[in-house]
Structure 1
Amino acid sequence: MVLKLYAAPQAAGGTAIVALTLAEKQVPYELITVNMEAKEHKTPEYLAMHPFGQIPVIDDDGFVLYESRAICRYIAEKYADQGTSLLPKSFKERIIFEQAASVEATNFHPAIFKILMEAVGKSRRGLPVDQAVLDAAVAEFSEKLDVYEVILGKHKFLAGNEFTLADVFHFGYGPMLASYGVDVMTGGGRPNVTRWWNELMARPAWVKLKAEGVKSTQ
């Protein structure tokens, strides 16, 4: 039975990192489109799979899992022997990976979300952007990237010299910044961050996903 991915067809947020993980691991899947405008994510049937009524969700032959980072870990573990190796194998390397994954979840994600709430959230609702709030959010996020600059000066990717899920997790919201005129990932005078980010954005699986959107691959 092919894995089912319940998500939106846009490569953004949690859907983006799950779809990218599936692509990197060369796992075929069937996309079950969830129409959030029609509140399909709040139906009793959907809430039985995801009690918070969010996307994405996977159903892997009856094994149902929600929360995008958990889904990515599951895919990377289950299909460890195919596609890109996204999880280190040695104990110490795995701990360093978990450290890097925590950096994304507790530093990068909260800071970038403040920017997106102001720059993207308001734009989508037709509300004026408060430039002072946006500038403060960008400044806070820039401080996080200053630390990334130091980390990425020591190794190629966030968890070491190999591309891992710790890097994948940044694809959820990081690519949105440039689309809304916030050129901070590559325009902040941080050569290590710029190198890393450009390499991430050039990954063939991401280029394809960005161009074609999320769609069934079975």
Structure 2
Amino acid sequence: MGKPIVYGAEYSVYVRIVRLVLAEKGIDYELVPVDVFAAEGIPAWYFEHHPFGRIPAFCYDGFRLFETNAIARYIDEAFEGPALQPADARGRARMGQIIGMLDAYGYRAMVWDVAVERLEKAEPDSALIAGGLAQAETVLKVLRSLKPQGPWLLGDQLTLADLHAAPIIAYFVKVTQGRDLLARFADIRDWYTRVADRASFTRTEKVA
């Protein structure tokens, strides 16, 4: 059957989520570079894998998928390795809620409005950053309120929620304002430190 193939770029938060899932499951894979920001544009062949030209996309044994959440769940359910989804319905619902919240309210604010704006713009938009930080604070408050006792976001089991949240937080804390805000939420800061110490996190870090 060969290896699973992930299409995307190392810089992508969502590509990293899929790579983290594969790493935690102990699955060898091939990363085929696709740079959606390349000057020459998205390669024409890639639209066969993702009709909207986003990353990541995934292929294994002729089975193609796009959308990070679908890919992550498929990998967890189709391959051997530690289970990354709760066994109970409420746990899976909470996991889905956290992932959905991060996609809807966390990613844009934390990654683009704060980190990218601060790191990559010659003249950062202070109002955009302020709005992003306000939204990020709400996201962190909700994560804190939902997190039970235990090392991970759902308690004692590392799940797809942890692997979804960590790359977003990793980008956010590239800037001082992100680190300072995270430091105000000690339990979420400590959770992030535990994730960042995992071998999978180190292996999927973008090489400068």
> Which residue of the partner structure matches residue 216 of structure 1?
none
- Which runs of structure 2 are paired with 1:112-191 in the superposition (5 Å)? 112-113=110-111, 116-121=112-117, 123-124=119-120, 126-152=121-147, 154-181=149-176, 182-184=178-180, 186-188=182-184, 190-191=185-186
In structure 1, how many angstroms separate the alpha carbons of the residues matched to 2:99 and 2:23?
Answer: 20
Deviation per CA, 1:53-84, whole angstroms, max 9, x where unpaired?
111111101111111121111101111x31x3
In structure 2, how many angstroms separate the alpha carbons of the residues matched to 1:147 and 1:34?
Answer: 34
In structure 2, how many angstroms separate the alpha carbons of the residues matched to 1:73 and 1:28?
Answer: 17
> Which residue of the partner structure matches residue 65 of structure 2?
65
Compute the TM-score of the two structures, normalised by the length of structure 2. Answer: 0.85
Tell me by how many angstroms 1:211 deviates. Answer: 6.5
Higher alpha-carbon deviation: 172-181 or 17-26? 172-181
Aligned structure 1 segments of 4 or more residues deviating by more than 6 angstroms: none
Tell me by how many angstroms 1:15 deviates. Answer: 0.8
CA distance change for structure 1 residues 178 and 118 in 2, over 3 Å: closer, same or farther?
Answer: closer
AA at the equivalent of 1:129 = P
- What stretches of structure 2 of length at least 5 have no aligned partner? none
Larger relative contact order (CA 8 Å, sep ≥ 6): 1
Q: 2:103 aligns with which of 90, 102, 105?
A: 105
- Which runs of structure 2 are paired with 1:17-96 in the superposition (5 Å)? 17-36=17-36, 37-39=38-40, 41-43=42-44, 45-79=45-79, 81-82=80-81, 84-96=82-94
Tell me by how many angstroms 1:168 deviates. Answer: 0.7
In structure 1, how many angstroms separate the alpha carbons of the residues matched to 2:87 and 2:122?
Answer: 48
AA at the equivalent of 1:139 = A
Report SS of the residue matched to 1:32. strand
Compute the TM-score of the two structures, normalised by the length of structure 1. Answer: 0.82
How much identity, in percent, do the aligned residues show? Answer: 25
CA distance change for structure 1 residues 156 and 185 in 2, over 3 Å: closer, same or farther?
Answer: farther
Report SS of the residue matched to 2:127. helix
Higher alpha-carbon deviation: 152-161 or 14-23? 152-161
CA distance change for structure 1 residues 102 and 143 in 2, over 3 Å: closer, same or farther?
Answer: same
In structure 2, how many angstroms separate the alpha carbons of the residues matched to 1:92 and 1:157?
Answer: 16
CA distance change for structure 1 residues 192 and 30 in 2, over 3 Å: closer, same or farther?
Answer: same
